[in-house]
Amino acid sequence: MCAKKIAVLTSGGDAPGMNAAVRAVVRTAISFGMEVFGVKRGYNGLLHGEVERMYLRSVSNIIQHGGTALFTARSPEFNTPEGVEKAAANCREMGIDGVVVIGGDGSFRGARDLSNAGIPCIGVPGTIDNDISSSEYTIGYDTAMNTAMDMIDRIRDTTESHDRCSVVEVMGRRCGDIALNTGIAVGAIATLVPEVEIDFERDLIERIKFAQQTGKRHFIVVVAEGVGHTEELCKRIQEETGIESSATILGHVQRGGSPTLRDRVVGSQMGYHAVELLRDGKSNRVVVMQGERITDFDITEALNMPRVFDEKLYEISQNLSR
Protein backbone atom coordinates (compact mmCIF):
# COMPACT_ATOMS: atom_id res chain seq x y z
CA MET A 1 0.00 0.00 0.00
CA CYS A 2 1.33 3.44 -0.91
CA ALA A 3 2.20 5.64 2.04
CA LYS A 4 0.11 8.80 2.46
CA LYS A 5 1.41 10.13 5.77
CA ILE A 6 5.10 9.67 6.54
CA ALA A 7 7.61 10.69 9.20
CA VAL A 8 11.34 11.35 9.12
CA LEU A 9 13.84 11.04 11.97
CA THR A 10 17.59 11.16 12.50
CA SER A 11 19.17 8.62 14.83
CA GLY A 12 22.59 7.86 16.31
CA GLY A 13 25.53 10.19 15.76
CA ASP A 14 24.94 13.38 13.79
CA ALA A 15 26.59 13.80 10.40
CA PRO A 16 26.95 16.81 8.07
CA GLY A 17 24.45 16.41 5.25
CA MET A 18 21.67 14.94 7.39
CA ASN A 19 19.78 18.22 7.00
CA ALA A 20 19.98 17.89 3.22
CA ALA A 21 18.39 14.45 3.50
CA VAL A 22 15.67 15.71 5.88
CA ARG A 23 14.92 18.60 3.52
CA ALA A 24 14.71 16.22 0.56
CA VAL A 25 12.34 13.88 2.40
CA VAL A 26 10.02 16.70 3.43
CA ARG A 27 9.87 18.46 0.07
CA THR A 28 9.67 15.24 -1.96
CA ALA A 29 6.81 13.94 0.19
CA ILE A 30 4.90 17.19 -0.23
CA SER A 31 5.48 17.13 -4.00
CA PHE A 32 4.02 13.58 -4.05
CA GLY A 33 0.91 14.74 -2.20
CA MET A 34 1.85 13.17 1.14
CA GLU A 35 1.65 14.61 4.63
CA VAL A 36 5.03 14.59 6.34
CA PHE A 37 6.00 14.82 10.00
CA GLY A 38 9.34 15.45 11.68
CA VAL A 39 10.25 13.31 14.68
CA LYS A 40 12.61 15.01 17.10
CA ARG A 41 15.37 13.14 18.94
CA GLY A 42 15.22 9.92 16.96
CA TYR A 43 13.31 6.87 18.14
CA ASN A 44 12.96 8.53 21.53
CA GLY A 45 10.71 11.10 19.86
CA LEU A 46 8.48 8.39 18.46
CA LEU A 47 8.06 6.95 21.93
CA HIS A 48 7.28 10.26 23.62
CA GLY A 49 5.29 12.13 20.99
CA GLU A 50 7.89 14.66 19.82
CA VAL A 51 6.30 14.72 16.37
CA GLU A 52 5.19 17.76 14.39
CA ARG A 53 3.79 18.42 10.92
CA MET A 54 6.33 19.78 8.46
CA TYR A 55 5.81 22.07 5.50
CA LEU A 56 7.96 23.46 2.69
CA ARG A 57 9.20 26.33 4.84
CA SER A 58 9.92 24.00 7.77
CA VAL A 59 13.14 22.97 6.04
CA SER A 60 14.20 26.33 4.62
CA ASN A 61 17.75 27.45 5.38
CA ILE A 62 18.95 24.13 6.85
CA ILE A 63 20.81 22.53 3.94
CA GLN A 64 24.02 24.47 4.67
CA HIS A 65 24.12 23.62 8.37
CA GLY A 66 25.86 20.69 10.05
CA GLY A 67 24.24 18.53 12.70
CA THR A 68 20.55 17.71 12.40
CA ALA A 69 17.63 20.11 12.68
CA LEU A 70 15.54 17.23 14.05
CA PHE A 71 18.09 16.52 16.80
CA THR A 72 19.16 13.00 17.70
CA ALA A 73 19.36 10.87 20.81
CA ARG A 74 20.03 7.33 21.98
CA SER A 75 16.96 5.38 23.08
CA PRO A 76 17.56 2.34 25.30
CA GLU A 77 13.78 2.03 25.68
CA PHE A 78 13.31 1.54 21.94
CA ASN A 79 15.88 -1.27 21.97
CA THR A 80 13.36 -3.53 23.70
CA PRO A 81 10.40 -5.44 22.20
CA GLU A 82 8.07 -3.36 24.35
CA GLY A 83 9.65 -0.14 23.09
CA VAL A 84 9.29 -1.14 19.44
CA GLU A 85 5.63 -2.06 19.98
CA LYS A 86 4.98 1.26 21.73
CA ALA A 87 6.59 3.20 18.85
CA ALA A 88 4.55 1.22 16.29
CA ALA A 89 1.35 1.84 18.25
CA ASN A 90 2.11 5.57 18.40
CA CYS A 91 2.64 5.62 14.62
CA ARG A 92 -0.70 3.89 14.05
CA GLU A 93 -2.44 6.30 16.42
CA MET A 94 -1.06 9.27 14.45
CA GLY A 95 -1.89 7.63 11.12
CA ILE A 96 1.77 7.45 10.08
CA ASP A 97 2.19 4.70 7.50
CA GLY A 98 5.87 5.13 6.64
CA VAL A 99 9.07 6.28 8.36
CA VAL A 100 12.40 7.40 6.87
CA VAL A 101 15.25 6.70 9.30
CA ILE A 102 18.52 8.55 8.69
CA GLY A 103 21.46 7.08 10.60
CA GLY A 104 23.92 4.20 10.87
CA ASP A 105 23.64 0.44 11.14
CA GLY A 106 22.20 0.59 14.67
CA SER A 107 19.46 2.88 13.37
CA PHE A 108 18.79 0.42 10.54
CA ARG A 109 18.28 -2.41 13.02
CA GLY A 110 15.66 -0.23 14.68
CA ALA A 111 14.04 0.43 11.29
CA ARG A 112 13.94 -3.31 10.61
CA ASP A 113 12.29 -3.96 13.98
CA LEU A 114 9.73 -1.22 13.37
CA SER A 115 9.01 -2.61 9.88
CA ASN A 116 8.47 -6.05 11.40
CA ALA A 117 6.01 -4.43 13.82
CA GLY A 118 3.95 -3.25 10.86
CA ILE A 119 5.27 0.26 10.17
CA PRO A 120 7.02 0.48 6.77
CA CYS A 121 10.52 1.93 7.18
CA ILE A 122 13.27 3.04 4.82
CA GLY A 123 16.86 3.57 6.03
CA VAL A 124 19.17 6.28 4.73
CA PRO A 125 22.90 5.96 5.61
CA GLY A 126 24.00 9.00 7.60
CA THR A 127 27.32 8.57 9.40
CA ILE A 128 30.75 10.15 8.97
CA ASP A 129 32.42 6.76 9.43
CA ASN A 130 31.49 5.32 5.99
CA ASP A 131 31.08 1.97 7.72
CA ILE A 132 27.78 0.82 6.19
CA SER A 133 28.81 -2.35 4.32
CA SER A 134 26.03 -2.16 1.75
CA SER A 135 26.83 1.40 0.64
CA GLU A 136 29.99 2.75 -0.96
CA TYR A 137 29.24 6.15 0.55
CA THR A 138 27.47 7.51 3.62
CA ILE A 139 26.19 11.03 4.22
CA GLY A 140 28.75 13.06 6.18
CA TYR A 141 31.83 11.10 5.10
CA ASP A 142 33.16 13.68 2.64
CA THR A 143 32.77 16.57 5.07
CA ALA A 144 34.51 14.62 7.83
CA MET A 145 37.47 13.83 5.57
CA ASN A 146 37.80 17.43 4.45
CA THR A 147 37.62 18.64 8.05
CA ALA A 148 40.32 16.18 9.09
CA MET A 149 42.49 17.22 6.16
CA ASP A 150 42.10 20.91 7.01
CA MET A 151 42.93 20.35 10.68
CA ILE A 152 46.02 18.28 9.86
CA ASP A 153 47.20 20.89 7.35
CA ARG A 154 47.07 23.42 10.19
CA ILE A 155 48.91 21.08 12.56
CA ARG A 156 51.56 20.59 9.89
CA ASP A 157 52.49 24.30 10.04
CA THR A 158 53.71 23.85 13.62
CA THR A 159 55.13 20.38 12.95
CA GLU A 160 57.25 21.73 10.10
CA SER A 161 58.35 24.82 12.02
CA HIS A 162 59.73 22.71 14.88
CA ASP A 163 60.98 19.60 13.02
CA ARG A 164 58.49 17.44 14.93
CA CYS A 165 56.40 14.35 14.40
CA SER A 166 52.66 14.84 14.83
CA VAL A 167 50.54 11.75 15.45
CA VAL A 168 46.91 12.56 14.65
CA GLU A 169 43.94 10.33 15.44
CA VAL A 170 40.85 10.65 13.24
CA MET A 171 37.37 9.21 13.74
CA GLY A 172 35.81 6.22 11.99
CA ARG A 173 35.12 3.67 14.75
CA ARG A 174 36.24 0.27 13.39
CA CYS A 175 36.50 1.58 9.82
CA GLY A 176 39.75 3.05 8.49
CA ASP A 177 38.35 4.91 5.48
CA ILE A 178 38.65 8.43 6.92
CA ALA A 179 42.22 7.73 8.04
CA LEU A 180 43.27 6.13 4.76
CA ASN A 181 41.97 8.90 2.51
CA THR A 182 43.11 11.68 4.82
CA GLY A 183 46.56 10.13 5.15
CA ILE A 184 47.02 10.22 1.39
CA ALA A 185 45.65 13.77 1.17
CA VAL A 186 48.04 15.19 3.79
CA GLY A 187 51.11 13.21 2.69
CA ALA A 188 51.39 11.25 5.94
CA ILE A 189 54.57 9.23 6.48
CA ALA A 190 52.35 6.42 7.80
CA THR A 191 48.64 5.69 8.06
CA LEU A 192 47.43 3.10 10.56
CA VAL A 193 44.04 1.47 9.98
CA PRO A 194 42.25 -1.33 11.87
CA GLU A 195 41.86 -3.43 8.71
CA VAL A 196 45.63 -4.02 8.47
CA GLU A 197 47.76 -5.53 11.24
CA ILE A 198 50.44 -3.12 12.39
CA ASP A 199 54.13 -3.85 12.73
CA PHE A 200 55.42 -0.91 14.76
CA GLU A 201 59.04 -1.17 13.63
CA ARG A 202 58.27 -1.75 9.96
CA ASP A 203 55.26 0.54 9.57
CA LEU A 204 56.51 3.46 11.64
CA ILE A 205 60.10 3.48 12.84
CA GLU A 206 61.75 2.17 9.68
CA ARG A 207 59.72 4.52 7.50
CA ILE A 208 60.63 7.55 9.60
CA LYS A 209 64.32 6.65 9.75
CA PHE A 210 64.48 6.05 5.99
CA ALA A 211 62.82 9.42 5.35
CA GLN A 212 65.31 11.08 7.71
CA GLN A 213 68.17 9.69 5.63
CA THR A 214 66.68 11.34 2.53
CA GLY A 215 66.52 14.72 4.29
CA LYS A 216 62.99 14.78 5.70
CA ARG A 217 62.75 16.56 9.07
CA HIS A 218 59.05 16.66 9.96
CA PHE A 219 56.45 13.91 9.92
CA ILE A 220 52.70 13.33 10.06
CA VAL A 221 51.29 9.99 11.21
CA VAL A 222 47.53 9.42 10.81
CA VAL A 223 45.91 6.89 13.14
CA ALA A 224 42.37 5.56 12.76
CA GLU A 225 40.13 5.60 15.83
CA GLY A 226 39.83 1.81 15.55
CA VAL A 227 43.59 1.48 16.05
CA GLY A 228 43.79 3.92 18.94
CA HIS A 229 46.65 4.02 21.48
CA THR A 230 47.69 7.32 19.90
CA GLU A 231 49.45 8.71 22.98
CA GLU A 232 51.39 5.47 23.43
CA LEU A 233 52.40 5.40 19.75
CA CYS A 234 53.57 8.98 19.99
CA LYS A 235 55.70 8.23 23.05
CA ARG A 236 57.32 5.21 21.39
CA ILE A 237 58.13 7.17 18.23
CA GLN A 238 59.92 9.83 20.27
CA GLU A 239 61.82 7.22 22.30
CA GLU A 240 63.02 5.25 19.27
CA THR A 241 63.75 8.09 16.85
CA GLY A 242 64.66 10.98 19.14
CA ILE A 243 62.19 13.20 17.24
CA GLU A 244 60.03 15.44 19.41
CA SER A 245 56.53 14.05 18.95
CA SER A 246 53.05 15.19 19.90
CA ALA A 247 49.64 13.53 19.77
CA THR A 248 46.37 15.12 18.68
CA ILE A 249 42.96 13.46 18.80
CA LEU A 250 40.67 15.42 16.49
CA GLY A 251 37.47 14.00 17.97
CA HIS A 252 34.02 15.44 17.35
CA VAL A 253 35.25 18.45 15.38
CA GLN A 254 34.97 16.07 12.40
CA ARG A 255 31.20 15.75 12.88
CA GLY A 256 30.54 19.46 12.73
CA GLY A 257 30.71 22.21 10.16
CA SER A 258 28.92 23.07 6.96
CA PRO A 259 28.50 19.98 4.75
CA THR A 260 30.41 19.79 1.49
CA LEU A 261 28.69 19.94 -1.88
CA ARG A 262 28.97 16.15 -2.18
CA ASP A 263 27.23 15.53 1.13
CA ARG A 264 24.47 17.99 0.30
CA VAL A 265 23.84 16.43 -3.11
CA VAL A 266 24.08 12.79 -1.99
CA GLY A 267 21.89 13.53 1.03
CA SER A 268 19.30 15.06 -1.30
CA GLN A 269 19.46 12.10 -3.70
CA MET A 270 19.09 9.53 -0.94
CA GLY A 271 16.25 11.38 0.77
CA TYR A 272 14.38 11.63 -2.52
CA HIS A 273 14.82 7.91 -3.24
CA ALA A 274 13.60 6.97 0.24
CA VAL A 275 10.29 8.77 -0.33
CA GLU A 276 9.96 7.19 -3.77
CA LEU A 277 10.18 3.77 -2.13
CA LEU A 278 7.42 4.59 0.38
CA ARG A 279 5.27 6.05 -2.39
CA ASP A 280 5.66 2.77 -4.27
CA GLY A 281 4.60 0.72 -1.26
CA LYS A 282 8.09 -0.57 -0.41
CA SER A 283 9.22 -1.31 3.14
CA ASN A 284 12.22 -2.60 5.09
CA ARG A 285 14.70 -1.18 2.58
CA VAL A 286 17.92 0.78 2.94
CA VAL A 287 19.00 3.37 0.39
CA VAL A 288 22.62 2.94 -0.71
CA MET A 289 25.17 4.12 -3.23
CA GLN A 290 26.66 1.50 -5.54
CA GLY A 291 28.95 2.55 -8.37
CA GLU A 292 27.90 6.20 -7.95
CA ARG A 293 24.26 5.13 -8.46
CA ILE A 294 21.54 5.43 -5.81
CA THR A 295 19.73 2.13 -5.28
CA ASP A 296 18.37 0.08 -2.37
CA PHE A 297 18.58 -3.28 -0.59
CA ASP A 298 16.52 -5.22 1.92
CA ILE A 299 17.64 -4.02 5.37
CA THR A 300 18.45 -7.49 6.68
CA GLU A 301 20.43 -8.29 3.54
CA ALA A 302 22.27 -4.98 3.84
CA LEU A 303 23.14 -5.53 7.51
CA ASN A 304 24.60 -8.96 6.72
CA MET A 305 26.84 -7.81 3.88
CA PRO A 306 30.59 -8.08 4.57
CA ARG A 307 32.50 -4.82 4.48
CA VAL A 308 35.11 -4.52 1.72
CA PHE A 309 38.35 -2.67 2.49
CA ASP A 310 40.01 -0.81 -0.39
CA GLU A 311 43.31 -2.70 -0.48
CA LYS A 312 44.43 -0.94 -3.67
CA LEU A 313 44.08 2.46 -2.05
CA TYR A 314 46.03 1.18 0.95
CA GLU A 315 48.78 -0.03 -1.41
CA ILE A 316 48.88 3.43 -2.98
CA SER A 317 49.13 4.99 0.47
CA GLN A 318 52.04 2.74 1.40
CA ASN A 319 53.99 3.49 -1.75
CA LEU A 320 53.49 7.25 -1.62
CA SER A 321 54.39 7.57 2.07
CA ARG A 322 58.16 7.85 1.80
- Catalytically active residues, by annotation: 129
Q: How far apart are CA 151 and CA 8, in angstroms?
A: 33
How many of the other CB atoms lie within 10 Å of CB of 121?
Answer: 30
The per-residue pLDDT for range 109-146, each reduced to its tens digit, is 999 999 999 999 999 999 999 999 999 999 999 999 99
DSSP 203-250: IIIHHHHHHHHTT---EEEEEETTT--HHHHHHHHHHHH---EEEEE-
Q: In this prediction, what percent of the chain has a pLDDT beyond 90?
A: 97
Examine the pLDDT at 13 and tell me if it is beyond 90: yes
CA distances (Å), origin 283, targets 126, 135, 143: 19, 18, 30
| Amino acid (1-letter code) at residue 19 | N
Average pLDDT over residues 219-228: 96
Global pTM?
A: 0.96
- What's residue 236's pLDDT? 95
Do the Cβ atoms of 274 and 294 come closer than 8 Å?
no
**Residue 3's pLDDT band (boundaries 50, 70, 90)?**
confident
Instruction: Enumerate domains of the chain plus CATH numbers.
Output: 5-140+259-303 (3.40.50.450), 144-256 (3.40.50.460)
- What's residue 197's pLDDT? 95
Q: How far apart are CA 123 and CA 45, in angstroms?
A: 17
